[in-house]
Amino acid sequence: MSSTFQPPSRRQFIRTGSAFLALPWLEGLAVAGEAAPPRRMVCVCTGFGLYGPSFFPEKAGKDYEASDYLKVLGDLRDQYSVFSGISHPEMGGDHASEACFLTSAKQPHSSNFRNSISLDTVAAKHVGTATRFPQLTLSTHDSGTLTFTSSGAGVPSLHRPSEIFARLFLAGNQGAINAEVARLKKGQSVLDRMGERFASLKPKLSAQDQQQVADYTEAVRDMEKQLKADEEWVVRPKPVVKDPAPMDTVDRADIVARTRMLFNLTRLALQTDSTRVVSITIRGMDLKPPIEGVTEDHHGLTHHGRNPAKISQLQLVERAEMAVFRDFLLALQGAKEGNGTLLDQTQVLIGSNLGDASGHGTNNLPILLAGGGFKHGQHVAGDRKNNTPLAKLFVSMLQRFGVETDKFGSGTGTIAGLS
Which of 41, 15, 85, 113 lies closest to 366, judged by CA?
85
CA–CA–CA angle 239, 245, 250 (5° rounding): 150
Report pLDDT digits (tens) over 127-185: 998 998 999 999 998 878 999 999 899 999 999 898 888 888 877 666 665 665 565 56
Q: What are phi and psi of 174, to 5 degrees?
A: -60, -35
Alpha carbon distances (Å) from 94 to 51, 99, 353? 16, 11, 9
Query: Can you tell me whether residue 332 is helix, strand or coil?
Result: helix
d(CA 352, CA 347): 16
The residue among 246 and 288 whose pLDDT is bigger is 288
Alpha carbon distances (Å) from 299 to 143, 289, 317? 16, 10, 11
Alpha carbon distances (Å) from 342 to 29, 119, 301, 327, 375? 17, 21, 36, 14, 16
Query: CA 114: distance to chain centroid?
Result: 21
pLDDT at 203: 76
Which of 258, 351, 361 lies closest to 303, judged by CA?
361
Strands (E), 70-198: 80-84, 86-87, 136-139
Tell me the average pLDDT across 319-328: 98
Choose from 176-180, 243-247, 335-339, 394-398 the range with maximum mean pLDDT.
394-398
Local confidence band at 248 (pLDDT 50, 70, 90 cut-offs): confident
Local confidence band at 27 (pLDDT 50, 70, 90 cut-offs): low
Tell me the average pLDDT across 322-349: 95
Alpha carbon distances (Å) from 202 to 36, 210, 213, 220? 44, 6, 8, 15
pLDDT at 208: 64
Q: Where are the domains of the chain?
A: 26-171+243-412, 172-236
Report pLDDT digits (tens) over 181-220: 565 566 555 556 666 666 777 777 777 667 666 665 665 5
Q: Which CATH fold topology does 26-171+243-412 show?
A: Alkaline Phosphatase, subunit A (3.40.720)
Window from 218-232, 239-253, 370-384 with minimum mean pLDDT = 218-232
